[in-house]
Amino acid sequence: MEQTCTPLRTCPICEKRSGTVLGLLTYALFDDLGIPGTKTLIQCSECGMMYDDVAFTEGQLQEYYRRNEHYAASSLGGSGSLSDDNADRYDRIIDNLHPDPKGTILDVGCGQGGFVARCLHHGFSAAGIEPSEKSRNVGLNAGLDIYTSIEEYAALHPETGISTVVISHVLEHLLRPLDMLKELIRNAPDALVYIEVPDAASYLSPRVMRWYELYFEHLNHFCKDSFSNLAAQSCIEVTRVASTPFSKNQADVQCLFLVGQFRCISDHTINQPDMVTGPRFTLPLLTKGDLLQDNRPIALWGVSQYAMLLMGSLPQLEQVDRLFDASPAKIGRKIRGITIEDAREIGTLSKETVLVLPYSQYSLQMRKEIEQSASFAGKIIQL
């Protein structure tokens, strides 16, 4: 049965407030964040966009990213690092984009600045925008030109000289993605633009549910139609929309990208796009049937966002009493009062313990590692 509602949050594309509830997503977040871990998955009644209705504000979201030092400490895809896998991905973006060699390429949400460095490597002029201080400092320490905000960049460069704007894996994180696009259009009215987002059709659809790709941080779930609507709403003249795997190492993560041109048209002349209604379905329950039949102690290794979703969703995981991770950005923080320990402490677990490994691109390797080192003699379950 469909349940219509008036979400707290307006639709990130058509800005209306009318939706159908598809389901609830509950995450056991870090205790220090002080923001609620439950999101309501909504489908906009006007345009079909799927997005998360949340009870937190823009300020609380900024605080979340400020505290979350993971992106500064990691070399993974989303961190903006200069790993080989990322360098290949940056080259894919540059190849699809054909940037104007005369102007500046602005990478908005550049993380550690890996893409900016890659552009310089290819002889382009490039700068980045990164609100997270820790990530920004990694880039600044490498001698890159990185700013806190678009506003700060524009204040220091009145003739912005921006010929190309890259927004890669950023818009799905924002409560109001159109605001960012409009600010960029004001500052770089004729720029060439490249936008990339995860393709929701590959992880959230009546045919596929990839729970491990339902990140707490992803608040907007773009499919091909809604991605085109976003472009229309923000005055981007699109020349190409296509799908691509995220990278060689994360080839199973499907993304959508578009290449287009900003067209400076004042707000009130924006044409309403042809709204398309996406697929309607009810979010299934996240269940893992035969997880545990007895009352053995449970530990969990790998405190990813998927692990937080599992902990928030599976009653069996209420029994978890020890948490482990290898990231210095997570060790010492707490979830449900349990302090995250260094993964090297796994050897101190009793052999009655069941060790849960939430799926990730590393979980197979983690399992091998633990079996080879024989540091843990209990049962291991991958979820």
Binding site for Zn ion (CB under 5 A): 11, 13-14, 44, 46-47, 49
User: How far apart are the C-alpha atoms of 317 and 302, rounded to whole Å?
Assistant: 14
User: How far apart are the C-alpha atoms of 144 and 115, rounded to whole Å?
Assistant: 10
Cβ at position 49, least distance to Zn ion in Å: 5
Looking at the Cβ atoms of 139 and 273, the one nearer to Zn ion is 273
Cβ at position 235, least distance to Zn ion in Å: 17
Cβ at position 22, least distance to Zn ion in Å: 14
- Residue pointed to by tokens 């005055």: 235
Looking at the Cβ atoms of 202 and 233, the one nearer to Zn ion is 233
Looking at the Cβ atoms of 49 and 54, the one nearer to Zn ion is 49
Looking at the Cβ atoms of 46 and 63, the one nearer to Zn ion is 46
Cβ at position 52, least distance to Zn ion in Å: 13
Q: Which two tokens stand for residue 89?
A: 């991905």
User: How far apart are the C-alpha atoms of 292 and 34, rounded to whole Å?
Assistant: 30
Cβ at position 200, least distance to Zn ion in Å: 14
Looking at the Cβ atoms of 13 and 303, the one nearer to Zn ion is 13
Looking at the Cβ atoms of 20 and 187, the one nearer to Zn ion is 20
Cβ at position 36, least distance to Zn ion in Å: 23
Q: Give the dihedral sign, CA 239/256/84/132.
A: positive
Cβ at position 225, least distance to Zn ion in Å: 11
Q: Read off the amino acid at residue 326.
A: A
Residue 171: CB atoms within 10 A of its CB come to 25
Looking at the Cβ atoms of 44 and 178, the one nearer to Zn ion is 44
Cβ at position 20, least distance to Zn ion in Å: 11
Looking at the Cβ atoms of 170 and 275, the one nearer to Zn ion is 275
Q: Read off the amino acid at residue 214.
A: L
